[in-house]
Structure 1
Amino acid sequence: MSEPTHPAADIDDVDRSILKILQSDGRTALSEIARRLDMGSATIHERVRTLEEHGFIREYRAVLDPELLGIDEVAFVNVEANPGRFAEVGERIAEHRSVQEVHELTGAADLLVKVRVRGREGLSDFLSTLGEYDGVQKTSTNVALRTVKEESRLDLNGDD
């Protein structure tokens, strides 16, 4: 029996080039991508549609500046959940509008939660709410003093 292939094996260099362009600027017109790659617009349109259908492109959105919007308090919360409940607790935490990321972990904590709120009062309110969630045993919080790098773009070259 052969090993299943990784989905990334299903895309070629042209698809990777399309993804790089769209990741850099999701508003890039398909005709502009076709021009840059010296290909037909219909071909690029079909490739982008296929990439969307297969989930390589999840969504198109604007990246907002949280500081200009006053949503400038960033914290990372380690959460210990009751035994056997970390997945359930993680799903519940993920529903909170201020939560940007939830990761299941190995080690002392079960979950790592990234939250972005308006000021310390917003953080205090969030932590109070989190502490009341059924299944949350313990939390510890690290507040970011300054963000040096925050990136959602993926390295499609595999370079370091």
Structure 2
Amino acid sequence: MDIDEVDRKILAILQVDGRAALSEIARRLDMGTATIHERTKALEEEGYIRDYRAVLDPELLGRNEVGFIRVETMAGRSSEVAERLVEVTPIQEIHEVTGDADLLLKVRIADRQEMTDLLREIGQYEGVESTATDMALRSVKEEHTLRIDE
């Protein structure tokens, strides 16, 4: 499915406010609600829209420490280790990367003790050779929106 300018506008609106009513989107785009409903449904079915969710405040929830863990794995084991790490709750992102490490993890934790426990857990996984950790001093920009243009 190729998306057009109207689809891009719908995506842009929903990306900023996933709770936007279809009638409000239709009003903003000067289109009928049924048309917006059909287009949104198609965007969902084609996978352009993967989910609707609330963005929570990590500080209010006591998860305001951000860390990045570089994981070196045994040769050929990075995908296996990554798949196993998917189930670890504090890990928000897992990326297979180039460079000195094989995996880059973004974690949100409450405190140093939680990081210590997490590193101990990861270090015990079969296939993990070593880890290196960087803690964020301050998060200047964290964004979950994608640039939508042609």
Quote the residue 1:3 is aligned against.
Answer: none
* Alpha-carbon separation, structure 2, partners of 1:147 and 1:94: 23
Corresponding residue SS for 1:57: coil
- The percent identity for this pair of structures is 61
Q: Which runs of 5+ in 1 are unaligned?
A: 1-6
Counterpart residue number, 2:32: 40
Shift of 1:157: 2.7
Kept in 2, the 8 Å contact 1:78–1:109? The answer is: yes
TM-score of the pair, normalised by structure 1: 0.91
Q: CA separation in 1, counterparts of 2:97 and 2:61?
A: 31
Provide the C-alpha distance between the structure 2 equivalents of 1:24 and 1:14, rounded to a whole number of angstroms.
16
What SS does structure 1 have at the residue aligned with 2:115?
A: helix
Question: What's the counterpart of residue 56 of structure 1?
Answer: 48
- Secondary structure of the residue aligned to 1:67 is coil
Q: Equivalences for 1:3-152 in 2 at 5 Å?
A: 10-152=2-144
Q: Which runs of 5+ in 2 are unaligned?
A: none
Amino acid paired to 1:61: R
Aligned to 2:145: 153
Tell me how many residue pairs correspond in the alignment: 150
- Tell me, in whole angstroms, the C-alpha distance in 2 between the residues paired with 1:74 and 1:93: 17
Amino acid corresponding to residue 145 of structure 1 in structure 2: L
Q: TM-score, normalised by structure 2?
A: 0.97
What SS class does the counterpart of residue 147 from structure 1 fall into?
A: coil
Distance in 2 of aligned mates of 1:73 and 1:120: 9
Deviation at 1:94, TM superposition (A): 1.6
Once residues 139 and 147 of structure 1 are traced to their aligned partners in structure 2, the CA distance between those partners, rounded to angstroms, is 22
User: Match of 2:129, as an amino acid?
Assistant: Q
AA in 2 matched with 1:157 = D
> In 2, distance between residues paired with 1:84 and 1:95?
20
Task: Please identify runs of 4+ aligned residues in structure 1 that moved more than 3 A.
Answer: none
Q: Distance in 1 between matches of 2:65 and 2:123?
A: 19
Aligned CA RMSD, in angstroms, stands at 0.9
1:49-69 deviation digits (Å, cap 9, x = unpaired): 000001100110000000111
